[in-house]
Every structure is written in C-alpha cells, then in structure tokens.
Amino acid sequence: MAHRGRLNVLANTVGKSYGEIFHEFEGNLDPAVIEGTGDVKYHLGASGKHTARSGREIAVSVASNPSHLEAVNPVVEGIVRAKQDLLTAGTAADEHGSAPVLPLLIHGDAAFAGQGVVAETLNLSQLAGYRTGGTVHLIVNNQVGFTTAPDYSRSSTYASDVAKMIQAPIWHVNGDDPEACVRVARLAFEFRQTYGKDVVIDMWCYRRWGHNETDEPAFTQPIMYARIKDRPSVRKLYTEALVNRGDLSLEDAEKVLETFRGRLQRAFDEVKGDSETPEVERQHPARLDQDPPVETAVDTGTLRTLAERLAEVPEGFNVHPKLTRWLAGRAEALETDKPAIDWAMGEALAFASLLSQGRTIRLTGQDTRRGTFSQRHAALVDQRTGAQYVPLAELGPGRFMVEDSLLSEFAAMGFEYGYSVGDPDALVLWEAQFGDFVNGAQIIVDQFLVAAEDKWMQRSGLVLLLPHGYEGQGPEHSSSRVERFLQLAAHDNIQVAVPSTPAQYFHLLRRQALRGVRKPLVVATPKSLLRLPAARSGGEELAAGRFAEVLADPEGPEPGKARRVLLCSGKVAYDLHRHRQETGTDDVAIVRLEQLYPFPAAGLKAELDRYGDAEPVWVQEEPENMGAWRFVHLSAERRLGLRLRGITRDEGAAPATGSPTIHDQQQRHLVEQAFKARK
C-alpha cells in the first residue's frame, strides 16, 4: 500500500500497538534499521497477526515500499507467488480459488490511473508463471491527487477503468457508507476465492485535510474543500445512522468514543518523554568479504550424468531436426578432450547440478525459454503435437521453473525481485532481452534491488542476466549500462560480474545459489560469445576451481617481459587475444576483471605484481563516459594507488553507432590502440 492510511492499517489490521506507533513519532529510531539508511516510517514494512472475530489468526504482512507509487505492486505479487509455491509446491496457485496467500493492493485514485506499472501488473494476473489466484485491489479514491483534479489526471471516466483490460469486476462504493463498503469487500473476496481472478473496489471518499500536515487544499480545490468542511465525518454519519436505526444509544456511542480516546491518550502519555529505545535484535547489512567461500566445482562423473540427462527426450518426442544435433552435442560435451562446453551448456550444467542438490530455480524473461539468441532451448517443443518438454524440470529434487515473460521490464523484474524476497533459498533469475532494456525497470533497480537492504533490511539474491557487447547492432542492442549499476554500488549492496567463459559463468551461478549471503547479482552476459569456438570451456574447468574474480592470462608473456598489461572485461578480451595472436605480440598481457563490484583489489594487485613495471591500461568497448572505465579508474587509484590509462570509444550521447561499418572501424582502432607503443 501507499503512505496514506498506512498507520491505520498497521494499528488495526497488522496489530502494531499504538504505543509503538507513537514511539516512532517521538523520533525514536528503531534499532533494527539504524545500521542502514533506514527509511521514513510510512515506507517500512511490518508483519503481525490479525485475529478475526471467529478467533482465527491470520498472518498479515505489509510490504516495505518506496515513495514511487505503485512500484511495489509487482513486488507484492512476486512475494505472494513465492509463498504460495513454498506452501503448495507450486500447485495451488494454478487452481482457482485455492491460492492460500491473498495479495491485497491498496491504491490511490490518481496513481492507479496514471502509473503504467498498474497495467503491467494487471497483465501478469492470469499468466501461468505469475498468477497468484487473484488480487484484491482497493482504490482509496479521494478524488484528488496531491493538488491535481481528476480532469487533469486521467482520460478515462473512472480511476479504475484500466482494470477493464482484464475484465475484472469493479465495484464503485460510497466510502461514507461503511456497511456498503464491508458488503462489497466480502463480495470481492468471495469472487477472488471462487474464480481465482483479480477484483477491484473503487471506494469513493474525500480527503479531509491537505496532502500532508502542512498543506492548504483550498489553494487549488476551494469549492470541494468548502463542502468537505461542512460535511460531518464518516464516524459521525455512521453513529447517527446507528442511533437513528436504534442499533446504538447515544450514550453508548459517546462511551465508545471516550474509551477509544482514553486508550490513545494513555498510549501517548506512556511514550511521551520516553527516550529509551526498546531492545531489538540488531541487524547489519551483510558483508560479502566475510562470507566464506563455497565449493562450486562438480565432479566429472556427476557432470557427465547430468549432461546425458539434459540431452534426453521422452520416447516418441519429435525434436526439431536442427536441435537433434544440438542435443547430441550436449551429450558429448564432456566426452571430448577439446573444450566443448558452450555458454548455454555451462548454464544448463550449473542449473542441473543445483537442482540435483535440491535448489529451486526460477528463470524468466522475454523469450527466455528458447533464449533471445536461440541458445538455451530450455523448453523443447514437439514438432508434431506442440507439446513441451523441459529437460531441467526432470532433474530434481529441486524445482525448475522457466517462463517466457510478458513484454515488460518494470513489472516483470519487480515480480522476480519479490519472488527472491519471498523465497530467499531459491535461485531467481530475470533476463533482459538485450541488456539495454533493463532501464525499463530502473525504478525496481534504484528503489528495491540496490537499496532495500539499506533501507528496510530486505534481502534479495536476484540475478539479472543482461546481454551486453559491442557487435555493431546499434545504440539499443549493445549496452547493459554497467556504469549505472557501478554508480549504484556501495556497502556491498550488489555484485556486478562480467564472466567471459562458460566455466566462469557456471561457477558464478553456483556461487550465487550456494553462498550464505543473499545479495543481488548483475551479470553482463554475452551475445556473440555464445557461439564463439574460442569461448568454450572444458569439463575440467567445471570440475575444479571456483569463480575467479580476476582471470589471469593463460598465454601471457613471461613476467619480466611484459611492457603492458591490458585490463578488460567481457567480449573485448577475445578481440584483444586475437589481435595479439595475429600480430605475434609477445610483450602484452591480457588480464580480465570478471567481477567489477565488489572491486577485487587484492586479486588485481596480485596479477599486476606478476608483471612488475608493465604499464596497466584499461580497455573497454564502451564510450569513455560509459562502461566500467570511470569506476575502475577511481577504484584502482583509491584501493591500490594505481593510475590507469583508459582506452575507450570517444565519449558518446548514445551508447553505440548505428552503422556496422563505423562500428568495425571503431573496434579495429580500439584494439590497435591497446597494443600501440607509446611515444
């Protein structure tokens, strides 16, 4: 829910005591959140128990949310789906009416009509991979958004009209009539329970005061506020109705009011002047460097068995002819002496091994089952019947879920973020079609992914897979904007990695699933490397070692002979290797920074020390004002006292050129510059 009405919900639905609420208003900090930045009290989540009149207890959680109205909607749906999957092993949410966790979203009228994520989240509601058995939406419609009247804030007749897109029933109800509201709430709930679909209650009310304590609403809505001033409150109107109906005597009504005021006053008096903070167990944002290393290697025998099983299809299943060969290649990938594990196979083996260790995996994104680059084929489709077969889903005990998402980034990533919060033990991955499109989910990144632990102690191990690389595909298919994640990195809030081999990706995914600490992981994933023969790994690389944050140069010059060390990440390393080989250069080393954040200062220093006085140079494909350059430059100086020279594309307003010819020229120039002797 949004900020308005939150204290009411905390007190009356979640069961937070008035004393605790007053305590927070007195300015006492809750020690549970003082380690991070914390947040204003209207944003903090809470959990409690609501006791129904029947005596039945219902666990209630209010999700932490940022100011960004409606952004929490997909997050809540993801949390709910994860909890439902945990409770029912993924079955109940698919059966109408039996989903055991109820998502309830409380909206403002202006936000419901105006924020696109509302439509995106409604669009999730009936998709198999996302449904939660129906959400109850409650619009607290106070007929104004801050100072803006409905005529200026929507083109639709009703604030709720966007919900018509999913044929949801919508009840418009008078907020001044509490009994009508209760009746409609019951109907809405019954509908949700019966049909497993979303419902909307549009409760028409008014806002008695301004937008906040100091606001003067009559500046902009004088006529409305003159009427509101003369209108008795809901409580008064309802009391009158009850008294007139003979359901309540005037004396009893006054007694109830007095008793309630007395309760509030006592709670307030007890808290007033009380500067002592209650004893609450302290939590700290987790540190990555204190997380013990985990074993990510998998023995060859197990890998072989997994590879064979990944290549199996059921009897009589008609695989596409092009995939028959591909499947056979998978079965053989561990049987040859040559490196034969490509990117998709490295990923599949990481997943398969985790599933066999009992881990739950959920992978979603646009066209993710096949893979944007036709590389994954996580779901095989029978060419005669259209039936689907997911080899990884057969590799339990862990549960494997893979879904093509709706064409959304905001709600789609928000949902997965929520899922990762709702089931912290699952490996949850969201994949962008191309890394560039991740900015459609920037609010989820800024407000949840990088900041939620600091603000709310809310932890997530969500993995973002962001295809990245300069391959002449134009300004919008080149960059996952790694610079933005690096700018947002602080206090070990995220991990940013650019693995350059299938084995590195394998170990990275396994590290993420198996390590003790939950932190989001942003991975710049490759495109052309998916098929580049030089970018394959051998089985022995999966059967030993772990993710190398800094990858040494296996073919580098003798330590004393290097005149330069090229530092880089990702695809450009292969371009540099090729150039070095083609030119017979023997005095330049190529060292890959496979993890950018947390910055692997010690590992980098160890590598550089091997090459003595050689000149360290950072090389990247991105323009000078993008990519990791400024981050690496600053980190190397601060952490190692090292001054790096940077070789980059010229600064750019857009990430890349639209011309393949210019791209080729730029790329050639970049690689040549990296090797060129300095005058």
Ligand X SMILES: Cc1ncc(C[n+]2csc(CCOP(=O)(O)OP(=O)(O)O)c2C)c(N)n1
Residue ranges in contact with ligand X by CB under 6 A: 4, 67-69, 108-111, 140, 142, 144-146
| In the complex, least distance from residue 448 CB atom to ligand X, rounded to whole angstroms | 14
Give the residue nearest to ligand X (CB): 108
Q: Measured from the CB atom, is 111 or 496 closer to ligand X?
A: 111
d(CA 102, CA 593): 45
How many CA atoms within 13 Å lie on the side-chain side of 582? 10
| In the complex, least distance from residue 143 CB atom to ligand X, rounded to whole angstroms | 8
Retrieve residue 84's tokens. 């439902």
User: Among residues 485, 469, 488, which one has the least CA distance to residue 477?
Assistant: 469
Q: Measured from the CB atom, is 140 or 307 closer to ligand X?
A: 140
The label of the residue with tokens 């791209």 reads: 663
**What does each C-alpha distance from 422 to 78, 432, 628, 649 come to in angstroms?**
7, 22, 32, 42
Beta strand pairing call for 427-431 and 463-467: parallel
Q: Measured from the CB atom, is 147 or 375 closer to ligand X?
A: 147
Q: Measured from the CB atom, is 140 or 303 closer to ligand X?
A: 140
Written as one string, the DSSP assignment of 103-114 is -EEEEEHHHHHH
| In the complex, least distance from residue 643 CB atom to ligand X, rounded to whole angstroms | 42
| In the complex, least distance from residue 216 CB atom to ligand X, rounded to whole angstroms | 16
d(CA 490, CA 473): 32
Q: Measured from the CB atom, is 14 or 106 closer to ligand X?
A: 106
Written as one string, the DSSP assignment of 514-538 is HSSS---EEEEE-SGGGT-GGG-B-
Retrieve residue 188's tokens. 């809405």
| In the complex, least distance from residue 4 CB atom to ligand X, rounded to whole angstroms | 4
Q: What SS3 class is residue 363?
A: strand
User: Among residues 554, 564, 553, 571, which one has the least CA distance to residue 675?
Assistant: 564
Cα dihedral 553, 632, 452, 287 sign: positive
| In the complex, least distance from residue 158 CB atom to ligand X, rounded to whole angstroms | 13
Q: Return the CA Rg of the chain.
A: 29
d(CA 39, CA 447): 12
- Per-residue H/E/C for 48-84: EEEECCCCCEEEEEECCCCCCCCCHHHHHHHHHHHHH
Beta strand pairing call for 57-62 and 46-51: antiparallel
d(CA 4, CA 211): 9
| 3-class SS shares of the chain: helix, strand, coil, % to 5 | 40, 15, 45
User: Among residues 278, 134, 136, 248, which one has the least CA distance to residue 195?
Assistant: 134
Give the CA angle between residues 78, 84, 89 to the nearest 5°. 120
Name the strand (E) or helix (H) holding 348. Answer: helix 343-356
Retrieve residue 408's tokens. 């959304």
| In the complex, least distance from residue 220 CB atom to ligand X, rounded to whole angstroms | 13
Q: Measured from the CB atom, is 174 or 357 closer to ligand X?
A: 174
How many CA atoms within 13 Å lie on the side-chain side of 632? 31
Q: Measured from the CB atom, is 215 or 299 closer to ligand X?
A: 215
Cα dihedral 140, 143, 144, 145 sign: positive
| In the complex, least distance from residue 217 CB atom to ligand X, rounded to whole angstroms | 11
| In the complex, least distance from residue 624 CB atom to ligand X, rounded to whole angstroms | 33
Retrieve residue 345's tokens. 């196979």
| In the complex, least distance from residue 38 CB atom to ligand X, rounded to whole angstroms | 18
Q: Measured from the CB atom, is 69 or 361 closer to ligand X?
A: 69
Q: Measured from the CB atom, is 209 or 260 closer to ligand X?
A: 209
| In the complex, least distance from residue 231 CB atom to ligand X, rounded to whole angstroms | 17
The number of residues making up the chain comes to 679
Residue type, 516: G
Retrieve residue 444's tokens. 């989820």
| In the complex, least distance from residue 46 CB atom to ligand X, rounded to whole angstroms | 19
| In the complex, least distance from residue 464 CB atom to ligand X, rounded to whole angstroms | 22
Cα dihedral 185, 186, 192, 197 sign: negative
Q: Measured from the CB atom, is 57 or 215 closer to ligand X?
A: 215
How many helical (H) and strand (E) elements, i.e. helices and strands, does the chain have?
Answer: 23, 20
| In the complex, least distance from residue 83 CB atom to ligand X, rounded to whole angstroms | 26
At a CB cut-off of 8 Å and minimum separation 6, what does 667 contact? Answer: 470, 472, 575, 621
Q: What SS3 class is residue 475?
A: coil
| In the complex, least distance from residue 13 CB atom to ligand X, rounded to whole angstroms | 17
Q: Measured from the CB atom, is 110 or 138 closer to ligand X?
A: 110
Q: Measured from the CB atom, is 138 or 486 closer to ligand X?
A: 138
| In the complex, least distance from residue 111 CB atom to ligand X, rounded to whole angstroms | 3
User: Among residues 586, 583, 593, 638, which one has the least CA distance to residue 617?
Assistant: 593
Q: Measured from the CB atom, is 119 or 241 closer to ligand X?
A: 119
Q: Measured from the CB atom, is 69 or 200 closer to ligand X?
A: 69
Q: Measured from the CB atom, is 4 or 639 closer to ligand X?
A: 4
Q: Measured from the CB atom, is 145 or 502 closer to ligand X?
A: 145
